[in-house]
Amino acid sequence: MITQTKGAFKPNKTVINNRPLICMETLERVAPVIRNAAHPLRLRILDYLQRERDPRTVSQIVEAAEAGQALVSQQLRILKDQGVLGARREGSYVFYSIVEPSVLLLLECIRKHGAQQRSG
Amino acid sequence: MITQTKGAFKPNKTVINNRPLICMETLERVAPVIRNAAHPLRLRILDYLQRERDPRTVSQIVEAAEAGQALVSQQLRILKDQGVLGARREGSYVFYSIVEPSVLLLLECIRKHGAQQRSG
DNA sequence: GGTGAATATAGTGATATAGTGATGTCTGGA
DNA sequence: TCCAGACATCACTATATCACTATATTCACC
């Protein structure tokens, strides 16, 4: 229901509520992180790394992701640049692991709500 | 710690864990929704609409978002096309409201974790 | 030093997205 | 019927992203 005033409806211009809006600075900082994670292949990589719990090599990730090596390597770099993943070299292998667990909430959310088909 | 085998380390190729990975079909369906929401202005719009609880007009949203009318209108359309927002015309006003609350988890997550500065 | 496996990067064309200004459409009222 | 306000869409430029191929780097081992 809309708060009708008189004959001609005029919506309130300035409604000040209790809770303040999240500041744009925060949104601008966080949005690209989420946006970058919200990519099928990168989500798959995160899902895999979370499931395995221990760090995994690029080859293992490539196999799990069922994608080309170069492509996976690029995605790993993106996630690393965002601070989501960490990498550690061990011999000729590079082990990746999740160092910023906040993004895992995305996966949790997808597991809960993602299975449902969209109504529209 | 890595499960070392012998002198030459060779990581397991096929580790089958309990929990299956989220299927790519789901990821491909959900990713664009998250990706579209993960935009500063759109997050601001969602934050505003969630705070106000009742539907708000485009003008109100434009004012709250502190952005141009055309730009806001485009974002509203994107969010509507994704099934996140619903719109209802009343006279010359169009009221937008959130009809797909799943995305609000994003905002919740940002409020919890977004304030912290990234370490790197 | 040479070789091969593991990983990273460069380069590229196709496509998507952001934001802006101008214009179109709808609606209510004089 | 004309006007003004609310909203949507168009046209356009700039920029970002995607996924691919080819090539480079790094390391272990001989």
Give the per-residue pLDDT at B17: 60
Chain B hits for A93, Cβ within 8 Å: 9, 11
Which residues of chain B make contact with A21, given a CB cutoff of 8 A?
A: 44, 47-48, 51, 64
A102 CA – D23 C1', rounded, Å: 36
Q: pLDDT tens digits for chain B (120 residues)? A: 333 332 345 555 445 567 899 999 999 999 999 999 999 999 999 999 999 999 999 999 999 999 999 999 999 999 999 999 999 999 999 999 999 998 898 898 899 877 665 433
Q: Which fold has domain A31-119?
A: Arc Repressor Mutant, subunit A (1.10.10)
Closest by CA to B47, choosing from B29, B28, B66, is B66
Domain boundaries, chain A: 31-119
How many whole angstroms separate alpha carbon A81 and alpha carbon B120?
9
Closest CB to A44: pick one of B27, B66, B102: B27
How many CB atoms are closer than 10 A to CB B61? 23
pLDDT for residue A25 is more than 80 = yes
Q: What positions of strand D are covered by protein, i.e. any atom < 7 Å from a CB?
A: 5-10, 17-23, 26-29
If you average pLDDT over every residue of chain A, what do you get?
84
Dihedral of CA atoms B104, B109, B110, B113 in degrees, nearest 10, equals 170
- Percent of chain A with pLDDT strictly greater than 70: 80
User: Contacts of residue A89 in chain B, CB cutoff 8 Å?
Assistant: none
Q: What is the DSSP letter of A88?
A: E
Residue, of A29 and A1, whose pLDDT is higher? A29
Instruction: Find the Å distance, CA of residue A92 to C1' of nucleotide D15.
Output: 37
- 3-state SS, residue B57: strand
Stated pTM of the model? 0.82
Preferred mutation among A6, A34, A39 to probe B, highest tally of B CBs within 10 A: A34
